[in-house]
Structure 1
Amino acid sequence: MPVLTRLIPSPLVVDIRRGAMDDLAGVLHDQRISTSGKLAVAISDGSGRALRERLAPVLPGADWYSVSDGTIDSAVRLANGIKGNRYDAVVGLGGGKIIDVAKYAAARVGLPMVAVATNLSHDGLCSPVATLDNDNGRGSYGVPTPIAVVIDLDVIRRAPARYVRSGIGDAVSNISCVADWELAQRVNGEEVDGLAAAMARQAGEAVLRHPGGVADDEFLTVLAEGLVLTGISMAVAGDSRPASGACHEINHAFDLLHPARAASHGEQVGLGACFAMHLRGAHEQAQVMATALRRHGLPVLPREIGFTVDEFVEAVDFAPQTRPGRFTILEHLHLSTDQIRDAYADYAKAIRS
């Protein structure tokens, strides 16, 4: 008899609302994630201190671990500190770096991980990937999906608005990423997981089409849900493919070529996604995406993040080297430097009109 269903790795709890952080202990207890209250909580050296003061009274059984940076060394140190202490779970309380460090450490010691996000800067908060700096630059490590995701909109509102804008760019870029995946299927026969593609694309479309803004709870909820769904789509696919295409290759190229000047992840992938859509001939869609990103204060031209046209052309030319084996519109067209320059001139003219 054929298998008619499949199990999808996803969190037991996704709690997105105002005041959610104050109910963390109750949620973990009710879902039997931590009935004893014995938790290892990873926080940053900076803003994490204020969060510890707020949550320590409601998490009396927790031990608090300070994380200095988002490196593999920090993740290993956290794992070594946690090991042997018989915790119920590891809680990553903070932004992307803290959550990724906690993901890796929890995986290393075999404990479930709870993501308590304090900003919405990218889709890594619920993904099966930990992105950590190492001696060779930056690496992506496979980890289990968080067992719970808690996003307190009151906390999100207190974070700088640029973090929300970055998350918008990352979510909207899904549309381009899925288009790249489908291109790889048509040209190379690469298998596309339809469920993963649908989840990632609809998450991007929901953010793209929503009329609200960064000060609107309804919009923040849709964005948070979109980032969570994108993470789950990667778990479904068993790969970052639903949310990583030409736009992310361009982002990685900026990071590698200009590490001291690189903008936020979401700003760079949003710009890359608009350009990639233009390259594949989807000019109307590129215009829609550019208009939405501009409305939220995101860049759609390289000069808006401090790069010249020559530097953008260099990044696009270098981009395919950042993900060997990944097939996107960049690999498909295999443009020369002059062709990239001409394509960019057409793109810049089109989105100004």
Structure 2
Amino acid sequence: MPLLARMLASPLFVEVRRGAVDNLATLLEERRISNGGRVLVAVGASQGEAIWARIAEGLPNATVFTVPDASLASAGLLQEALGAHGYDAVVGIGGGRTLDVAKYAATRAAVPMVAVATNLAHDGICSPVASLEHPHGKGSYGVAMPLGVVVDLDYVRAAPPRLVRAGIGDALSNLSAIADWELAAAERGEHIDGLAVAFARSAAEALLHHPDGIESDEFLGVLAEALVLSGMAMSVAGTSRPCSGACHEILHAVDELFPGTADHGELAGIGALFATYLRGDEVLLERLATTLTRHGLPRTPAEVGLSAEQFARAVEHAPRTRPDRYTILEHLALEPAPLRAAVEAYAARLA
């Protein structure tokens, strides 16, 4: 009987600790990514440039590219820079926007990419998706997973606490996304990848059951690992399905209709809570709400400055952000009046 197996894409290394960035040049050499340090370093403003100043001496053959924004245009410029010389790899240093630009450009140029994350705001650290702006809005693009991931907890601690907490909301929303995937399987026969679900669920459950908060290095390590696992779940599935359901439809709708309302992870947490409420899963609703409260994350539209009417408009618009996706929103297909009533009842439930 033949032995069947599948090969899984994963980073060559994941380094999560204090002072991890100081070892970057050695990691690139030991992992045979770049023996001579001939890499293009893409940095964001503030922390990205500060980190480069700290490690530049160890990478004398590197070239620096400053990423101005998270747009397709910026990614195109970085891709063009990659084509000008024979670089061994791209090293993206910064937050999610910088890493998304670096992932997209590296993929299009067929060059390996190493992600050096300066915050833990969402699961884009290791995901096979880049979210980039274009003249008509924002799009999600398939990209190669980073070859290596470095998270220096010293820099994570220097980031605004709100950004770090946001990553908790993004990881927890996996549980709602999985429930939506299971609903799509029951209603439309959609295939579920059990291994992808295992990765995504493990990431969320690790945070649900951890007693500490972002003041703890141990917790930050667990959060970083959860975000990496979420990225691997999407890679295994070949889709963002295990980490993106109604929760992310809602957050994308809020971003489109009311830009600047809140961070990605904060909106993912609220979206997951509301979707769970619509599914009538009181056990999961209570677990998610308790964890978000413990970490000081918003749970209701009012906590991010949205009225019930505005949030209802976003939920109504949400299915249009992912026309191919079937979630509790598409399943219920609520008309405006009952949808507004559901939002008000949800807010009252969590008051």
Instruction: Report TM bin, short chain.
Output: over 0.9
Pairwise CA distance, 1:339: 1.5
Secondary structure of the 1:262 match is coil
Q: Say whether the 8 Å CA contact 1:33–1:89 is kept in structure 2.
A: yes
Whole-angstrom CA distance in 1 between matches of 2:296 and 2:87: 42
Pairwise CA distance, 1:46: 3.4
Whole-angstrom CA distance in 2 between matches of 1:84 and 1:78: 10
Partner residue, 2:152: 152
Pairwise CA distance, 1:284: 2.1
Q: Say whether the 8 Å CA contact 1:287–1:351 is kept in structure 2.
A: no
Pairwise CA distance, 1:155: 1.0
The count of corresponding residues between Structure 1 and Structure 2 is 351
Whole-angstrom CA distance in 1 between matches of 2:48 and 2:31: 25
Query: TM-score with structure 1 length normalisation?
Result: 0.97
Whole-angstrom CA distance in 2 between matches of 1:91 and 1:36: 14
Partner residue, 2:10: 10
Secondary structure of the 2:79 match is helix
Partner residue, 2:65: 65
Q: Say whether the 8 Å CA contact 1:115–1:125 is kept in structure 2.
A: yes
* 1:1-353 → structure 2 map (5 Å cutoff): 2=2, 4-259=4-259, 261-352=260-351
Pairwise CA distance, 1:189: 0.2
* Cα distance, 1:152–1:46 mapped onto 2, change above 3 Å: closer
Whole-angstrom CA distance in 2 between matches of 1:322 and 1:140: 11
Whole-angstrom CA distance in 1 between matches of 2:226 and 2:3: 29
Instruction: Tell me the amino acid that sits aligned with residue 336 of structure 2.
Output: T
Secondary structure of the 1:36 match is coil
Structure 1 runs (4+) greater than 6 angstroms displaced: none
Pairwise CA distance, 1:47: 3.2
Instruction: Tell me the amino acid that sits aligned with residue 92 of structure 2.
Output: G
Q: Say whether the 8 Å CA contact 2:21–2:151 is kept in structure 1.
A: yes
Secondary structure of the 1:300 match is coil
* Cα distance, 1:333–1:2 mapped onto 2, change above 3 Å: farther
Pairwise CA distance, 1:2: 4.5
Instruction: Tell me the amino acid that sits aligned with residue 116 of structure 1.
Output: V
Whole-angstrom CA distance in 2 between matches of 1:159 and 1:345: 34
The C-alpha deviation readout for 1:196-249, integer Å capped at 9, x for no partner, is 011101101111221110111011011000000000110000011111100100
The C-alpha deviation readout for 1:86-108, integer Å capped at 9, x for no partner, is 11110000000110111111112
Pairwise CA distance, 1:176: 0.2
Pairwise CA distance, 1:348: 2.4
Whole-angstrom CA distance in 2 between matches of 1:220 and 1:240: 23
Pairwise CA distance, 1:337: 1.5
Q: Say whether the 8 Å CA contact 1:277–1:285 is kept in structure 2.
A: yes
Secondary structure of the 1:91 match is strand
Pairwise CA distance, 1:44: 1.6
Greater alpha carbon shift after TM alignment, 43-52 vs 334-343: 43-52
Instruction: Tell me the amino acid that sits aligned with residue 122 of structure 2.
Output: H
RMSD: 1.1
Instruction: Tell me the amino acid that sits aligned with residue 338 of structure 1.
Output: A
* Cα distance, 1:171–1:341 mapped onto 2, change above 3 Å: same
Whole-angstrom CA distance in 1 between matches of 2:85 and 2:174: 40
Q: Say whether the 8 Å CA contact 2:308–2:344 is kept in structure 1.
A: no
Pairwise CA distance, 1:3: 5.2
Instruction: Tell me the amino acid that sits aligned with residue 282 of structure 2.
Output: H
Instruction: Tell me the amino acid that sits aligned with residue 196 of structure 2.
Output: A
Whole-angstrom CA distance in 2 between matches of 1:52 and 1:147: 19
Whole-angstrom CA distance in 2 between matches of 1:3 and 1:329: 38
The C-alpha deviation readout for 1:131-153, integer Å capped at 9, x for no partner, is 11011211111111100000011
Whole-angstrom CA distance in 1 between matches of 2:14 and 2:50: 24
Secondary structure of the 1:222 match is helix
The C-alpha deviation readout for 1:63-118, integer Å capped at 9, x for no partner, is 11111000000001011112141111100000001101111111121110000000
Instruction: Tell me the amino acid that sits aligned with residue 349 of structure 1.
Output: A
